[in-house]
Structures are given as C-alpha cells and as structure tokens.
Amino acid sequence: MAERREYRKAELDVIEATPEAIISGSLDDEIRARMAATIEAEAPIKESLLFKRVINSMSLKKVGSKILPAFVRIASALPCRISEDDGERVFHSSSEGECFRPTPDPSVRYSYQIPTEEAVNCLEYILEREQRIITKSELSRLFKAELGYERMGAQVDSLFRRAAKSPLLKRTGNGRFTI
C-alpha cells in the first residue's frame, strides 16, 4: 500500500565553486557526494531538480551548457537505479518505497518536478483509502487536495493525467477508477 510521507529536502552545506573548477573535474567527488546525499533524502527525484539542488549548494545560479556535461557524466555513474519519466531521468534510492510526498510550497518542489510514479502512488493511496469506485473528475479533485494544491493548474493537471494512465491503476468497464 502506498503511503503519505513528509517531503524532506536535502540539507547540503553551501560552498563556493566556479564553473571552471567543475569543468576541470577537480570537484567531481564533491558533486558525486552531493548528488548521492540529495538522492538519499529526496528520491525519487527528477534529474533537473537533482542538478538544481547541487548547483545551488555550490553558490552557482544554473547548470549552464558548459557544466551540464560534467553533471550528466557524474550522475550517470551513480550507483542507483535510474528510470525515465516524461523524457527526463529519475534517480531512485534503495530506501524510497511506495510513497508520495505533498509539496505545495514551490520553493521546495513544483508540481512538474514530481515524478509520475509518485503521483501514481498518490492515486493508489486515495483509491485504497476511499474503498469505492471513483470517477476521473472526483479522483482529480481528491488528488489535488491530497497533494495540497489550491487549484488544478496546467502542471498539476498534466501530472494527474500522466499518472491516471498508469496500468497499475484498475478501472471499471465505464472508465471509473477502483481498487
């Protein structure tokens, strides 16, 4: 059964780094350790958010085209499971389990940064909790409320639509959702 957990943002000490040091490879071990700590705290985590967490902890503003190859190279060699979600890589820890973590505060994580499989876990949680057949529109409303969103914006709606297509969710003959 999927469970609801509190979202934990990785706590990384802020250091001063330069793009040149990253490009040279002298910070590879530091970047690898920061990525591993972020994955352990926040997995499953999309690649863009993983990179953002690490780059912000290094006092830089963004992963530009000059340093992106170094980040991709380091992330690709991490000893963790990597899957794909809507064209973006997702990094997993061995301890993440089947859960979802509401994060309506955009300073922590935007809805487009939530992996689809986490949204599927939320839908499974709702269906198991409700113990009844639910229409798509009602499930959408419950999904939005469970994740803590005031309204169903385009990004939240897109996340719901991707998750609702999961073959892991059971449907009745008329398209309603059930456990």
For residues 158 and 144, what is the distance between their CA atoms, to the nearest angstrom?
A: 12
Longest dimension (CA), the chain: 59
Cα gap 145→152, rounded to integer Å: 9
d(CA 119, CA 8): 17
Residue 51: predicted pLDDT: 96
Domains and CATH numbers, the chain: 9-92 (1.10.10), 99-178 (no CATH)
pLDDT recorded at residue 107? 81
Could you state, in chain order, the average pLDDT of each consecutive group of 10 residues for the chain (179 residues)? 88 95 95 97 95 95 86 96 95 88 85 94 95 94 90 86 94 89
Task: Give kind and range of the element (H or E) at residue 178.
Answer: strand 177-178
